[in-house]
């Protein structure tokens, strides 16, 4: 058997069920590795004693012959905007440090029902409003492949923990790319489910019409398992014939101005997929950039005014939105959030209505017609136009000799599908010459999550497994 920390979700669950591994020994190995790599700052709240107690209970249940769930004894970490009893839900912002949930989020309840062990809460970009995970209050999360680089965000701690083999899998959240982007920059896999397909209660929100939680793991197979656990959909796998798969390649926007390493790796991946029998249909999504721009920031700058207070009310918290904004530590997040409340800068109801009632339906239609008219299962494109950049480049980054705004440069390819509410998946396909991970993404039709994952799983069989990052063994 490989080192315990190398086990996937499926492998760990099977080993525990067969008696080849105890939940306690797995937890001990992962705890030691997490503590040895504390400088990654992947965890904001980590309780070894509680984890070991849960693991011992899992082992006792097995010895007593009790019915075991699909995730029995498997540690899974959570982004710190997801409610789990026993852990504060801070969203890594100072005002919520004392936010101790009395109920588990439905997602957490589903994981626990199948025997999972909650393996701590992950550091994130403050309030999930950013992609660097450089948090002024709780510290920067570091990329396991190069600790001087960002892990992506806002689910940066979750992706870093999974990549560094501190946990087999984790749950993040994705509004404009916050699961898929850190997955790509950290060399792991991530799923953004169709909007509203995963339950959204018990999660500190940004924008209710865009937010969704999603899994991060080192294999697509593990994403399929976790998705089945959370949604209740049957775990049975279809037999995917790559010769019958058609993928759209939208060159406009998605394949423009790419970092050379990213362009080379993703172009080579397309050639490999074509050689495997996949039909690539090069056709653009019409008006995609204009429609996306008419929705994205309008929604993100309007809905938190309603959605965050609603979460606080459900949590019976005495903290207000004004309290949160006043105590925000990260300059980029403070600027964004202050604009929500300022009468002079906040988005009007008229502008929001146009984004939701006019432009979003058009964007949804563009995606739906693209899939149907071209007979394609999904679009395919680089998850990010560039690899990870240095911690501290919060305002601008360098790309092809130019300084460009950090946030839009990283979410450029993941944002349109988010606004359309369609499912998206990112899978690792290799490392750059400097050793930084590169991700390849697909967006599928609304509700096609399982088929999208199954196609990705079949594709992943033909891509080389990238090496693990060089971190302390624990």
Catalytic site includes residue 238? no
Whether the Cβ atoms of residue 108 and residue 83 lie closer than 8 Å to each other: yes
Alpha-carbon distance of 289 to 273, in angstroms, equals 27
Catalytic site includes residue 79? yes
Q: For the chain, which domains are there? A: 8-460 (3.90.1300.10)
Q: Which residues contact 99 (CB under 8 A, 6 or more apart)?
A: 88, 89, 90, 315, 317, 319
User: pLDDT per residue over 422-452, tens digit each?
Assistant: 999 999 999 999 999 999 999 999 999 999 9
Note the pLDDT of residue 235.
80
Catalytic pick among 8, 54, 155, 178 = 178
Whether the Cβ atoms of residue 179 and residue 155 lie closer than 8 Å to each other: yes
What's the maximum distance between 2 C-alpha atoms anywhere in the chain?
64
Whether the Cβ atoms of residue 13 and residue 452 lie closer than 8 Å to each other: no
Over residues 389-401, mean pLDDT? 97
Alpha-carbon distance of 463 to 367, in angstroms, equals 27
Cis check: omega of the bond before 331, within 30 degrees of 0: no
Catalytic pick among 133, 154, 208, 330 = 154
> Cβ-count burial of 410 within 10 angstroms (0-12 exposed, 13-18 middle, 19+ buried)?
buried
Whether the Cβ atoms of residue 227 and residue 453 lie closer than 8 Å to each other: yes
Note the pLDDT of residue 1.
65
Its pTM stands at 0.98
- Residue 2 scores a pLDDT above 80: no
Q: Own/partner pairs for 65-68, CB < 8 Å, 24+ apart?
A: 68/16, 68/17, 68/115
Over residues 7-33, mean pLDDT? 98
The C-alpha R_g of the chain, in whole angstroms, comes to 21
Whether the Cβ atoms of residue 291 and residue 363 lie closer than 8 Å to each other: yes
What's the distance, Cα to Cα, between the start and end of the chain in Å?
18
User: pLDDT per residue over 88-135, tens digit each?
Assistant: 999 999 999 999 999 999 999 999 999 999 999 999 999 999 999 999
| Residue 359 DSSP one-character state | I
Note the pLDDT of residue 196.
97
Catalytic site includes residue 418? no
Alpha-carbon distance of 177 to 383, in angstroms, equals 9
Would you place residue 419 in the very low, low, confident or very high pLDDT band (cuts 50, 70, 90)?
very high
Catalytic pick among 79, 296, 448, 458 = 79
Over residues 353-373, mean pLDDT? 98
Alpha-carbon distance of 292 to 333, in angstroms, equals 22
Alpha-carbon distance of 337 to 332, in angstroms, equals 9
């Amino acid at each position: 058997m490989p080192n315990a920390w190398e086990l996937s979700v499926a492998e760990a669950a099977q080993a525990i069920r067969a008696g080849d591994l105890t939940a306690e020994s797995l937890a001990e190995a992962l705890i030691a590795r997490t503590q040895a790599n504390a400088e990654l700052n992947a965890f904001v709240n980590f309780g070894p004693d509680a984890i070991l107690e849960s693991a011992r209970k899992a082992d006792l249940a097995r010895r007593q012959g009790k019915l075991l769930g699909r995730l029995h004894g498997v540690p899974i970490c959570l982004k710190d905007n997801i409610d789990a009893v026993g852990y504060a839900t801070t969203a890594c912002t100072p005002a919520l440090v004392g936010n101790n949930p009395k109920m588990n989020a439905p997602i957490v309840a589903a994981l626990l029902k199948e025997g999972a062990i909650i393996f701590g809460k992950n550091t994130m970009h403050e309030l999930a409003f950013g992609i660097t995970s450089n948090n002024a209050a709780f510290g920067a999360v570091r990329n396991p492949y190069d600790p001087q680089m960002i892990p992506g965000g806002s689910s940066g701690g979750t992706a870093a923990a999974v990549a560094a083999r501190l946990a087999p899998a984790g749950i993040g959240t994705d509004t404009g790319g916050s699961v898929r982007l850190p997955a790509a920059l950290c060399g792991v896999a991530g799923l953004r489910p169709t909007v509203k397909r995963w339950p959204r209660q018990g999660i500190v929100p940004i924008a209710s019409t865009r937010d969704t939680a999603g899994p991060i793991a080192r294999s697509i197979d593990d994403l399929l398992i976790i998705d089945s656990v959370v949604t209740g959909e049957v775990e049975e796998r279809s037999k995917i014939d790559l010769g019958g798969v058609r993928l759209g390649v939208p060159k406009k926007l998605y394949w423009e101005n790419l970092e050379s390493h990213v362009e080379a790796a993703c172009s080579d991946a397309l050639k490999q997929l074509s050689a495997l029998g996949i039909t690539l249909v090069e056709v653009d999504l019409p008006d995609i950039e204009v429609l996306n721009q008419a929705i994205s920031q309008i929604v993100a700058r309007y809905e938190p005014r309603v959605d965050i207070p609603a979460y606080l009310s459900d949590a019976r918290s005495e903290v207000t939105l004004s309290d949160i904004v006043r105590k925000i530590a990260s300059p980029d997040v403070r600027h964004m959030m202050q604009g929500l409340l300022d009468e002079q800068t906040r988005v009007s109801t008229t502008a929001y209505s146009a984004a939701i009632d006019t432009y979003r339906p058009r964007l949804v239609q563009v995606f739906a017609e693209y899939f149907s008219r071209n007979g394609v299962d999904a679009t395919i494109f680089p998850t990010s136009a560039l690899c990870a950049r240095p911690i501290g480049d919060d305002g601008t980054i360098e790309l092809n000799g130019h300084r460009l705004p950090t946030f839009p440069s990283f979410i450029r390819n993941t944002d349109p599908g988010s606004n359309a509410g369609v499912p998206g998946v990112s899978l690792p396909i290799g490392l750059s010459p400097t050793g930084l991970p590169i991700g390849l993404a697909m967006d599928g039709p609304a509700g096609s999550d399982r088929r999208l994952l199954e196609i990705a799983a079949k594709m992943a069989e033909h891509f080389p497994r990238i090496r693990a990052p060089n971190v302390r063994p624990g």
